[in-house]
Amino acid sequence: MIDLARWYVGDIARISGHMTNFVERVGPEDGQPFKSANDSALIAMEFAEEGAHGTICVSSVSHVAKRGQDFQVRLYGDAGSLELDFNFARSRLRGVQRGEEDWQDLTVPLEFLGQGENPPLAALDFFAPFTNQSVSDRLFIDAITKGVSVEPTFYDGWKAQQIIDATFASHHEGRWITIPP
């Protein structure tokens, strides 16, 4: 989500983060509770460009039933706005431009969906990019064999790690943390 935020809006200048764990876990041998990893995080952020701000809220324990997961992206701007709702049951992309009163359902162009000769995983169309485009591990291998750059880069990974580290610091110190440029 951090990488997507940077990709959509740009570099992040400062953040305020809060993390918690809602599910108590017990040790495998003695059955006693132990300090477990955070299973929920909230990050408020200010972007370096244009004074934009945003939030990331993630949870590994929220129950969303048959949807499997919920992924929502909201981009609101003065010239228009986009909303993406995606889960394993359905996906929907909507937009509205300045001067319009009603949101419109938008169709994602086929070239972005990776339509091709390979059937999508589990016969679900939204998995088509994973079988017909270079993504994930396949993207890395294709970049090596074709001698091209791959995105996200190691730099992008480093920037995401800066945000993760700053989120921990912000949570423990109770303050906004500035991200070095």
Task: Report pLDDT for 47.
Answer: 96
Average pLDDT of the residues in 84-96: 85
The CA distance from 29 to 23, in Å, is 18
CATH number, domain containing residue 151:
3.30.360.10
Higher pLDDT, 2 or 109: 2
Residue 97, number of CB atoms within 10 A of its CB: 10
Residue 154 is part of which domain span? 2-62+108-174
Two tokens, residue 157: 């990974």
Same domain, 82 and 45: no
Two tokens, residue 100: 């319009």
Same domain, 45 and 125: yes
Q: Is residue 180 part of a domain?
A: no
Total count of domains within the chain: 2
Q: Give how far Cα 15 sits from Cα of 49, 63, 68, 95, Å.
A: 14, 27, 29, 28
Task: Report pLDDT for 94.
Answer: 95
Q: Is residue 117 part of a domain?
A: yes
Is 83 strand, coil or helix?
strand
- pLDDT digit string (tens) for 32-88? 766 677 888 999 999 998 779 999 998 888 777 776 778 889 999 999 999 998 877
Same domain, 89 and 123: no
Q: Is residue 114 part of a domain?
A: yes
* pLDDT value at 160 more than 90: yes
